[in-house]
Amino acid sequence: MKGNNYSIYIGDDLIGFAKDVGDDMPWTRGRFEPTPLFDKYRELFELENRLADAKKWSEREKHLDAIYSLGLRLESPTRGVFTPCLGTKIVRGGFALFHIRGDQVSWRPT
């Protein structure tokens, strides 16, 4: 089902929107629309992509945890608030493996 929209925050900063979100199990995917505040965090997400492309999985996992610890969360008017799973801790109703690559955003719900 496509059409859900999410606001993406790091702490109090609204960094962008996930638009036209749909399920592509096991992933949730949408179109990313950044706000001007995204520039403050852009390099963090670009580094995550470079680590993934280089298949440096352990470094990438630590880097994702560092991004999550900054207060990354998703908010949906219809589905509520979603927070990341840190390390090996699984949070029901949370998410893992959050990515922003260009104009695409994806995550795996837990």
Tokens matching residue 10:
């790091």
Query: Could you tell me the pTM of the whole model?
Result: 0.90
40: which DSSP letter?
A: G
Higher pLDDT, 6 or 90: 6
Residues 6+ apart with CB under 8 A from 93: 80, 82, 109, 110
Q: Is 61's pLDDT higher than 60? A: yes
Task: Tell me whether residue 30 is exposed, middle or buried, using C-beta atoms within 10 angstroms of its C-beta: 0 to 12, 13 to 18, 19 or more.
Answer: buried
Residues 6+ apart with CB under 8 A from 58: none
Unique residue bearing structure tokens 């990515």:
99
What tens digit of pLDDT does each residue of 67-110 get? 999 999 999 988 889 889 876 666 677 888 899 999 999 999 88
DSSP secondary structure letters along 59-88 = HHHHHHHHHHHTTEEEEETTTEEE-BPPTT
Q: Is 8's pLDDT higher than 50? A: yes
Q: What are the domain boundaries of the chain? A: 4-101
